Amino acid sequence: MPKQTFYNLSEDKKNLIDKVLKDEFSSKPFKDCNVKNIVDRLSIARGSFYQYFDDLKDSYFYILDKETKDVHLLFMSVLRQNNNDVLKALDVFGDEVCDLIFEDGEYDLYKFRYLYWNSELEDSWKAKKKEYYEIFQNDTGGNKLELVYFMKATVHSLIERNFKEGWSRDIFLQKYRLHINWLKEGIKNEDF
């Protein structure tokens, strides 16, 4: 998260930094982003960047926190709103996650996150979100936790394929509903 120095900046300056960060992280995979591009666009010294953020990853996580929503938190919210009825929550979640990833101005942030997220970023993100993951683990123990991981793998795969294959909203929802139906009803021989 940004250092206090960042929060002491004027709103205009913070907004400009936010815009440049969002542009940088929406235009290419994180591994291809760099501080030089950011400071050049902001016309600031490299040292100033490090007065605001610990490193490039810190600025990336900041903009993800600010501009995107965690799909895991979204699912937990939808589940609670549906009285922990997982089947109903899965139906509602498809529309919610579709709205999220296809939101104007956010699509590319999600795209580069889902296509190029690696284990190093995942470990750092989990460390940053440690409190959330501990609560999540406590709320979903045993077989329930395994079911959540199973559903997570299905949804993440669909989101990733959406970006790789350039699906429309309608195609995403069609495939989401097909996969969720398999989760709910099971796979049958006639499906092959």
Q: Are residues 81 and 47 in the same domain?
A: no
Residues 65-69, mean pLDDT to the nearest whole number: 93
Domain boundary among 21, 36, 66: 66
Q: Are residues 82 and 162 in the same domain?
A: yes
Q: Are residues 52 and 74 in the same domain?
A: no
Q: Are residues 59 and 73 in the same domain?
A: no
- Provide the pLDDT for residue 127: 83
**What are the tens digits of pLDDT across the range 103-136?**
988 999 999 999 999 899 988 888 877 766 666 6
Domain hosting 28: range is 4-66
Domain boundary among 24, 48, 66: 66
**What are the tens digits of pLDDT across the range 7-25?**
999 999 999 999 999 999 9
- Provide the pLDDT for residue 141: 59
**What are the tens digits of pLDDT across the range 34-46?**
999 999 999 999 9
Q: Are residues 112 and 173 in the same domain?
A: yes
Contact predicate 154/183, CB 8 Å = yes
| pTM score | 0.84
* Position 180 in a domain: yes
Q: Are residues 127 and 115 in the same domain?
A: yes
**What are the tens digits of pLDDT across the range 131-164?**
666 666 666 556 777 887 888 899 999 999 999 9
Q: Are residues 95 and 133 in the same domain?
A: yes
Domains in the chain, number: 2
Q: Are residues 9 and 98 in the same domain?
A: no
Q: Are residues 85 and 154 in the same domain?
A: yes
* Position 192 in a domain: no
* Position 133 in a domain: yes
Domain boundary among 38, 66, 94: 66
Q: Are residues 53 and 136 in the same domain?
A: no
> Domain holding 137: CATH number?
1.10.357.10
* Position 169 in a domain: yes
* Position 139 in a domain: yes
Tell me which H or E stretch contains 24: helix 11-27
* Position 28 in a domain: yes
Tokens at residue 20, please? 């440049």
Q: Are residues 168 and 80 in the same domain?
A: yes
CA separation for the pair 186, 111 (Å, rounded): 30
